[in-house]
Amino acid sequence: MSDPTQPPVDPASSKPTDSSVPPAYETPAAPAYPAPGAPAAPAYGQASAYGQPPAYGQNPYGQQSPQDKYNVLSIISLVTSILGISIVGVITGHIGMSQIKKTGEKGRALALWGLILGYLGFALGLIGGIIIAAIVIGSATTGSTYYN
């Protein structure tokens, strides 16, 4: 079946094609070299100025190196001070600050806030305990007059 959109073909003027002869190919062009004075391509292992990925051995994702870790005791100090376990927060805060000075880890601010909240919670607990003790003692000494 023929395609109606194609013009009609005259069988007398058409020549048979020989499919055994491959088409002629041109030789490939020589590679283009940069013009004199133009910046050369970076050598192997060097990063290009146009945002190509870094060479092997470099960290492409900006992950933390081992020396950039937080001190665990400073985190524990802050968490326990927030939860109201003030004495644990104060002790771990002091130990964490000492370790941070020696190792250079991150977390000094966490340990400092753990110490501040721990001492504040300890002071408020002490004041609350004194007030409760005064109320109990006061009610115990004057409680006998109400029953007479």
CA 117/CA 141 separation, integer angstroms: 36
How confident is the model at residue 26, as a pLDDT? Answer: 74
Summarize pLDDT for 25-79 with one digit per residue, the tens: 777 777 666 667 666 665 665 555 556 555 566 565 666 565 578 999 999 999 9
* CA–centroid distance for 87 within its chain: 32
Reduced to 3 states (helix: H, G, I; strand: E, B; else coil), residue 54 is: coil
Is the pLDDT at 148 greater than 60? The verdict is: no
How crowded is residue 17: how many other Cβ atoms within 10 Å of its Cβ?
Answer: 7
Given a contact cutoff of 8 angstroms between Cβ atoms, the answer to whether 95 and 105 are in contact is no
Candidates 73, 108, 69; CA nearest to 92 is: 73
How confident is the model at residue 39, as a pLDDT? Answer: 63
Given a contact cutoff of 8 angstroms between Cβ atoms, the answer to whether 76 and 90 are in contact is no
Given a contact cutoff of 8 angstroms between Cβ atoms, the answer to whether 77 and 118 are in contact is yes
How crowded is residue 81: how many other Cβ atoms within 10 Å of its Cβ?
Answer: 26
How confident is the model at residue 100, as a pLDDT? Answer: 95
Please state the pTM of the whole predicted model: 0.52
SS3 content of the chain, % helix, strand, coil (to 5): 50, 0, 50
Q: Which two tokens stand for residue 138?
A: 């006061």
How confident is the model at residue 113, as a pLDDT? Answer: 97
Summarize pLDDT for 82-100 with one digit per residue, the tens: 999 999 999 999 999 999 9
Angle at 31 between CA 26 and CA 34, to 5 degrees: 150
Reduced to 3 states (helix: H, G, I; strand: E, B; else coil), residue 106 is: strand
Q: Domain boundaries in the chain?
A: 70-140
